[in-house]
Amino acid sequence: KTQVEQSPQSLVVRQGENCVLQCNYSVTPDNHLRWFKQDTGKGLVSLTVLVDQKDKTSNGRYSATLDKDAKHSTLHITATLLDDTATYICVVGDRGSALGRLHFGAGTQLIVIP
């Protein structure tokens, strides 16, 4: 059973618009949640990690929230650029160390058009 669900599956926005990506999970325990960006044909690159019960992070035009009570996270992308076209993957870790397991979502494919 999939423990990390991302929505929407795909999203098309115009350059300059804002967008919000959602991640719901059932992983227990939920030590941390990380968002990755995967460009087509490339590996995953970490954007941000959230750790606290109710957490917020900001990394340039990317900002993220986590609510562990709701087991829900959002990734906001402000003023999208063509280079933001990629798949965004939500990953929940059940421990803070390598002895834990990482649970990957299937990703949201974001396409930014001119």
Partner 1 sequence: DMKVTQMPRYLIKRMGENVLLECGQDMSHETMYWYRQDPGLGLQLIYISYDVDSNSEGDIPKGYRVSRKKREHFSLILDSAKTNQTSVYFCASSFVGASAETLYFGSGTRLTVL
Per rule CB under 8 A, is residue 104 in the interface with partner 1? yes
Instruction: Please say which residue, 42 or 56, places its beta carbon nearer to partner 1.
Output: 42
Neighbours of 79 (CB within 10 A): 10
Under the binding rule (CB under 8 A), the answer on residue 43 touching partner 1 is: yes
- The DSSP secondary structure of 87-114, one letter per residue, reads EEEEEEESSSSTTS-EEE---EEEEEE-
Give the phi and the psi of residue 82 in degrees, each rounded to 5: -55, -35
Contacts of 88 (CB under 8 A, 6+ apart): 6, 21, 35, 36, 37, 38, 47, 75, 107, 108, 110
For the window 58-87, what string marks contact with partner 1 as x by the rule CB under 8 A? ------------------------------
* Cβ at position 22, least distance to partner 1 in Å: 15
Task: Tell me: does residue 107 bind partner 1 (CB under 8 A).
Answer: yes
Please list every residue from 4 through 23 that binds partner 1, using CB under 8 A: 4
Query: What is the contact surface with partner 1 in residues (CB under 8 A)?
Result: 2, 4, 31-32, 34, 41-46, 49, 51, 89, 93, 96-98, 100-107
